Chain A
């Protein structure tokens, strides 16, 4: 790989981001709005299954919100690859003596750093959700958000790379990425849902990331009658998440090498 090229392309993503105020607002604002409105709205009517377990819905929903921040940031940063193609920047990069993998890695790294930074800021709001975080938990959560962001940015890039219009990308996002998030246990626990839904939730690779993030941020209290989340956190969940991240990166590499007639780097 060429670290200089990767870093230079990643830094460009950061510069571009901060020069488009609407993107900053959209990426940071939407998930927090979700949390504030949905969390507050549902808290009053939504009782955590299994009776009093000492966890409010806002608290339950908080890790899901952080996950959503990462997902949104990843999605919005990879839309730029469609703009890069349309505005001509990408062709200038393609004729440079840089392997295709380095171009992809640069874009993904840039998106990941943006997602991690936004998640880190959102984590500062934990006290508002009644979630207590010490410095170690905060740092660990940020590190995990980086890993998640890398996987989600890779997935978004694999989708965005062959696309020629941002409208198409928005459509895919709505019918594919949002359901993945809704099914991940970020929004509601698996307890008491119909069997088919529980199966879908277990099949959703994001479920395991949400479970791990939840265990770092706001572990569901132990005890009889407590909600169980979708799957148990721990080694297997972390392992599945890491596999997912690696798989998505390989997918992004494969897509970027296949979807045009250009000569390989």
Chain B
């Protein structure tokens, strides 16, 4: 049944071959006093990207880098100052209502009415999408079943734990079978188990043809995306498959600690100019193929200067650092 309906919807989409989302030249500048203190600052300065149908696409970047602004624009909550967004070939700015029909949105802050029961929350949501009667009831039943909420049906939302609320949130966003699911920092506040089951759900949805677009500042989450855009200071730094992005960094990442990291890095740079060592958070970092051959030499060349050595496969964190000169998790430390 669902599959048939799905197919019927697909054929009625305009311009079948279009990308799920295509954005060009997006710009947004916060107006004075609207958000944060200080003068107007650019939240987005010229963002382009394209998301293919049926992929999980992530925006990975530090908090305050422009991801949330991007999310709000895609969710039709914020009009950009300049630029264009096509969602399934529909102009987001001029056909917002048409886009909204195809869009499921999961906010970082829950959008549940805490005084209503789980079922009432879903019923209210359904009505907003024109669903009613037996169709609505069966969709609610299926949604509750899918997310293991059947026994919570009549419970008020405020009595649920954070993880359960997020599941209701997902059931709510999926009630009208959206073709595009938009999630803002979906893992924030979830325990590892809930995080795992969230990702299983997202992968299921993708396999059913739903396009999933999410923002995150966790590199582990970035790793699970089919494709990824690194976002920093209002720009997309690079886009690609996570493993390709990491392959840009040849070989391994070596981290050294010592008493005088700056001096250590300088000395290393003199000995091995091709390594271009850098220092971050008191750790000297360099990238190098076949690190195991280099490391004994470093100890010989710099006797007593090195306290510890770590070798790791490059992570998205390393990619981000190399591309922007900044750490991914910098802001997070303050926040949590």
Q: Which of B110-118, B234-242, B290-298 has 4 or more CB atoms under 8 Å from chain A?
A: B110-118
Q: How large is the interface on B (under 10, 10 to 19, 20 to 34, 35 or more residues)?
A: 20 to 34
Interface residues of B in 79-136 (CB under 8 A from A): 79, 92-93, 96-98, 100-101, 103, 105, 107, 109-116, 120, 123-125, 127-130, 132
A95/B75 in contact, CB under 8 A: yes
Interface of B is mostly: loop
List 13 A-B residue pairs with CB atoms under 8 Å apart, sorted by A's residue number: A8-B123, A9-B127, A12-B124, A15-B120, A19-B156, A87-B110, A95-B100, A97-B97, A262-B76, A262-B78, A262-B79, A264-B96, A265-B96
Say whether A22 faces chain B, with CB atoms less than 8 Å apart.
Answer: no
A4/B100 in contact, CB under 8 A: no
Which residues of chain B come closer than 8 Å to A16, judged between CB atoms?
113, 115-116
Which residues of chain A come closer than 8 Å to B128, judged between CB atoms?
5, 8-9, 93, 96-98
A89/B113 in contact, CB under 8 A: yes
Give the Cβ gap from A38 to chain B, nearest Cβ, in Å.
33
Which residues of chain B come closer than 8 Å to A98, judged between CB atoms?
128
Say whether B179 faces chain A, with CB atoms less than 8 Å apart.
Answer: no
Which residues of chain B come closer than 8 Å to A263, judged between CB atoms?
76-79, 92-93, 96
Known: A92-B105, A92-B107, A97-B100. A12 touches B79 (CB 8 A): no
Task: Please report B residues at the A interface, Cβ cutoff 8 Å.
Answer: 75-79, 92-93, 96-98, 100-101, 103, 105, 107, 109-116, 120, 123-125, 127-130, 132, 156, 172
Say whether A223 faces chain B, with CB atoms less than 8 Å apart.
Answer: no
- Nearest to A18 among chain B residues (CB) is B115
Say whether A44 faces chain B, with CB atoms less than 8 Å apart.
Answer: no
Q: How many residues of A contact B (CB 8 A)?
A: 29
Task: Please report A residues at the B interface, Cβ cutoff 8 Å.
Answer: 2, 4-5, 7-9, 12, 15-16, 19-20, 84, 87-89, 91-99, 261-265
Give the Cβ gap from A248 to chain B, nearest Cβ, in Å.
25
| Docked pose: A220 CA to B36 CA in angstroms | 57
9 extra A-B contacts, CB within 8 A, seeds A4-B130, A12-B113:
A4-B132, A5-B130, A16-B116, A19-B115, A88-B109, A88-B111, A92-B111, A93-B128, A263-B96
- Nearest to B130 among chain A residues (CB) is A4
